[in-house]
Amino acid sequence: MDSSRKHIVLLPGDGIGPEIVQAGWQVLQWLDARFEFGLSSETHAVGGAAIAETGSPLPASTLEACKGATAVLLGAVGDPRYDNPQAEVRPEQGLLTLRQELQLFANIRPVKTSEGSLRWSPLKPERVEGVDLLIVRELTGGIYFGDRARGSDESGRWAQDTMRYSEGEIQRVARLAFSLARSRRKKLTSVDKANVLHSSRLWREVVTEVHKDFADITLEHQLVDSCAMRLIDDAQSMDVIVTSNMFGDILSDESAAIAGSLGLLPSASWGSAAPALYEPIHGSAPALAGKGLANPMATISSVSLMLRHSLNAAEQASALDRAVALTLDAGVCTPDLGGHSSTQEVVQVVLQQLEEVCA
Ligand code: IPM
Ligand code: MG
């Protein structure tokens, strides 16, 4: 493959997914026209949209395309049509299989406030000002991928999900989290439930062992219940958080209260090799779909992460971050942030701001 070629696979998915991926791609196209990255793209189905088309939430053609991509931009998966106990295939399975097939073992979820964003948070401004967190969520192990079963016996129905971690799985995500902390404020909070769970006790042991190679980083361990509280009342004291798949899922949605809306938070999923996958942390919001109400900022900020980490375009990533901040500061935002702008109106203003920032 031509090494200058940068091929992006777009996976709109369900609900508001198509609108926000469209927004992300518009921004990428604008930057490509300006800076000649040599981008190309192809679009594939995933989630409920793919089930409707092919019967599978991750068709083989979608997976193949992703494997050959420089980076993948995903919208969201989740569709009420398949959201019932009888459903044999679920849209979410498409995303989980994709993460596993691409071996994207770490999901990076930055949460940062700015002067202008404080008013969106339901929390007191003095609790959220200056928050700059990086949640590193283990993404291909734990209870999401452990053995499951359902059955029934004389006492009734039962169901079971298994939370299992190997030391290798913990080591690789811990190493990444420590390295990320090294380029920041050098603090790592490892979050577990070691007072109850075996898998968490192993987690704690292994993270402590990996710490030996990162002696310049301050490591603390915290139980997940107490971390949930700390995110609300003292997130300023944290820098990088590393945690298991499910705890990371929950804590990152919680941290959206710090930023003010789920519609603002981006994410990057990384493995040991390309491609990486970029997606907003929010879901498919079926009630908002097709109405132009979706906040495109989480996806646009995911594009910024893609620029920085997969497209070797750190300068353009900073310009895009600046354009997003200027747009929000100007009060141009969707209804989740109390604004009156549509998805496309927000995108157009981001592009105008980019024009000025890049001038
Ligand atoms: C997320 C989502 C997914 C997850 C769902 C859609 C499977 O909530 O990316 O946070 O639980 O990982
Ligand atoms: Mg989630």
What is the tens place of the pLDDT at every residue in 38-80? Answer: 999 999 999 999 999 999 999 999 999 999 999 999 999 999 9
Q: For all residues of the chain together, what is the average pLDDT?
A: 96
pLDDT attached to residue 3: 57
Q: What is the Cα–Cα distance from 91 to 13, expressed in whole angstroms? A: 9
Task: Note the pLDDT of residue 1.
Answer: 43
- Average pLDDT for residues 116-131, to the nearest whole number? 94
Residue 233 is a catalytic residue: no
DSSP code for 263: G
Give the pLDDT of residue 195: 98
Among the residue ranges 113-122, 248-257, 278-287, the one predicted with the least confidence is: 113-122
CB of 265 closer than 8 Å to CB of 280: yes
The domains of the chain, with CATH numbers, are 1-104+266-359 (3.40.718.10), 121-150+158-259 (3.40.718.10)
The whole-number pLDDT of residue 85 equals 78
CB 14 within 8 A of CB 77: yes
Distance 249 CA to ligand 1 centre (A): 7
Atom of ligand 1 nearest to the CA of 284: 6
CA angle, residues 224, 229, 231, in degrees to nearest 5? 90
Name the β-bridge partners of 156.
Answer: 153
Query: Does pLDDT of 274 surpass 90?
Result: no
Q: Check pocket membership of 51 for ligand 1, CB cut-off 6 A.
A: no
Site of tokens 């192993």 = 202
Catalytic residue chosen out of the listed positions 144, 239, 278, 336: 144
pLDDT attached to residue 88: 86
Neighbouring residues of 151: CB distance < 8 A, sequence distance ≥ 6: 157, 158, 159
For residue 110, what are the CA distances in angstroms to 24, 90, 171, 251, 253?
Answer: 18, 28, 21, 12, 12
Q: Ligand 1 pocket, 296 CB below 6 A? A: no
Whether ligand 1 lies within 6 angstroms of the CB of 95 is answered as yes
In the set 32, 192, 239, 249, the catalytic residue is: 249
Atom of ligand 1 at shortest distance to CA of 253?
Answer: 10
